[in-house]
Amino acid sequence: MSVMFARSILIAAFLLGCPGARAEMLNLRYGESASPLQSIFSLPALVAERQGYFAREGLNFSIVPVAGGGEATINALHDGAADISHVATNFLVTAALGGSDAVAIAAEFNNPVYALVAKPWVADVADLKGRLLGLADEKGAVTYATRKLLALHGLGAGDYRFKVIEGTPARFQCLVSGDCAAVPLGQPQDFFALRQGMKTLGLSTDATPEFLYTVTVARRGWARDHAEAVTRYVRALGAAFAFIRDPARRDDVARTIRDAFGASDEAARKTLALYFEPERHVLPMRGEISLAGLARVQDFMIETGVISAPVPTDRLVDLTYLRAAGLQD
Q: State the average pLDDT over residues 109-117.
A: 94
Note the pLDDT tens digit of each residue in 183-198: 999 988 999 999 999 9
Average pLDDT, the chain: 91
What is the rounded CA–CA span in Å between residue 307 and residue 309?
Answer: 6
Q: How confident is the model at residue 2 (pLDDT cuts 50, 70, 90)?
A: very low
What is the rounded CA–CA span in Å between residue 96 and residue 193?
Answer: 37
- The CATH number of the structural domain formed by 19-110+212-324 is 3.40.190.10
What is the rounded CA–CA span in Å between residue 322 and residue 328?
Answer: 5
Which residue has better confidence, 136 or 228? 228
Asked if 1 contacts 38 with a C-beta cutoff of 8 angstroms, the reply is no
The one-letter amino acid at 182: A
Q: Which residues contact 198 (CB under 8 A, 6 or more apart)?
A: 117, 118, 119, 120, 175, 176
Query: Percentage of the chain surpassing pLDDT 70?
Result: 93
Residue 210 Rama label (left phi>0; alpha psi -120 to 50; beta)? beta
Delimit the domains of the chain by residue range: 19-110+212-324, 115-206
* Global pTM value: 0.85
CA distances from 282 to 10, 151, 173, 267, 276 (A): 39, 23, 25, 17, 8
**Dihedral sign, CA of 70, 74, 75, 76?**
positive
Tell me which residue of 158, 149, 159, 152 sits closest to 128, measured CA to CA: 159
The CATH class for the domain spanning 115-206 reads: alpha beta
Asked if 117 contacts 175 with a C-beta cutoff of 8 angstroms, the reply is yes
Q: What is the pLDDT of residue 137?
A: 84
Helix (H, G, I), strand (E, B) or coil at 231: helix
Query: Do the two domains 19-110+212-324 and 115-206 of this chain adopt the same fold?
Result: yes
Tell me which H or E stretch contains 5: helix 3-17
Note the pLDDT tens digit of each residue in 227-282: 999 999 999 999 999 999 999 999 999 999 999 988 999 999 999 999 999 999 99
pLDDT of 164 above 80: yes
Query: Percentage of the chain surpassing pLDDT 90?
Result: 80
